[in-house]
Amino acid sequence: MTTKERYTNVIKWFQENMPVAETELHYNDNPFHLLIAVILSAQCTDKRVNMITPKLFEDFPTPESMMDVSSDVIFEYIKSCSFPNNKAKHLVGMAKKLVEEFNREVPDDIDDLQKLPGVGRKTANVIASVVYNKPAMAVDTHVFRVSERIGLTTNSKNTLQTEKTLVQYIPEELISTAHHWLILHGRYICQARRPKCEICGLRPWCRYYQNLPPIKK
């Protein structure tokens, strides 16, 4: 099976079986709030983030409202997530930079987004993709793992390499959706410790499954 054939079949399966794929983070269609949620989601589950953010969003609806408080105040809202000290500082710094350098608007440019505290390439790609519908492929641990297991990538050394390979083969108009396909597949089916191959529809094209030893009868 060629790489192109694998991509064609995997994409077709997702289109037929997961036509609607979107972020599971709650953000009320507010780009600023999505940015907060994605920063908080680093090494933390979406479920936990969604438990934290309602009160945070209510009390800090705009960058201006967040930039004027201390990180200690934000810490009290987010202390149940991972790395709350650093994330609290990032959120306050991010809000301040939005106000002072970006006219209170979340930028749509990948490079500009990465100028914000707490925003790396993955987060920037999420915002560009989800908010601005740009063909940006955010590679988190799920996307990195699933892409390698299925065979969409081969021996990727880092997330940037994975991103470049996926963008090369996935049609531009599907990149934003494909990001969510791979995340959701990794979250619920192709899990890290024990992938649920027995219920996975991608078995005919999955390199990992094809290389499993035969089941002894």
Catalytic positions: 122, 140
Give CA torsion, residues 186, 4, 200, 135, to 10 deg: 40
Instruction: Please state, in angstroms and rounded to a whole number, the distance separating the CA atoms of residues 3 and 68.
Output: 51
119 touches 131 (CB < 8 A): no
User: 3-class DSSP state for residue 84?
Assistant: helix
Instruction: Please state, in angstroms and rounded to a whole number, the distance separating the CA atoms of residues 42 and 35.
Output: 12
DSSP assignment of 21-58: ----S--TT-HHHHHHHHHHTTTS-HHHHHHHHHHHHH
- Output phi, psi for 66, to 5 deg: -90, -30
Amino acid making up residue 18? M
CA distances from 187 to 184, 195, 196 (A): 5, 10, 11
Angle at 21 between CA 62 and CA 117, to 5 degrees: 35
